[in-house]
Amino acid sequence: MATTPTRDGPPPVVTDDQLAAMHDDPRFVDLKRRLFRFIVPATIGFLAWYLLYVLLSAYARDFMGTVVFGNINVALLLGLGQFVSTFGIAWAYSRYTSRNYDPQATELHDAVHYGEDAR
């Protein structure tokens, strides 16, 4: 006798066609948009900021050598700034996805595996 799929144990196996069918679902289009809305600007941003840092290291050495206080110069502060921005973007991404992506992704995952009504 066929039983209603439940959340206990591994989810039922899905076929490639079931997966492909979800691709045109408006909720999936929305999910994609949610992901790209973060990763596209963030990637452009951190790559540009890193490239700026490398270019300054190559072509603006006088500026990089400017002493800010004690023996701390602009080059060191900008380098540490790359660390801060890397940690910051990683943190912001985790925060963004846990609020604006993971619940929706889980919903679609379950819709593919368990069908729309098995909640």
- Is the separation of the CB atoms in 78 and 56 below 8 Å? yes
Sole binder of other proteins in the list 37, 52, 86, 118 (CB under 8 A): 86
Of 25-44, binders to other proteins (CB under 8 A) are 28, 31-32, 35, 38-39, 42-43
Select 3 or 59, whichever has its Cβ closest to other proteins: 59
Sole binder of other proteins in the list 48, 52, 72, 118 (CB under 8 A): 72
Sole binder of other proteins in the list 6, 7, 61, 118 (CB under 8 A): 61
Burial class (CB in 10 A: 0-12, 13-18, 19+), 1: exposed
Which sign does the torsion angle of CA 22, 24, 27, 28 carry?
positive
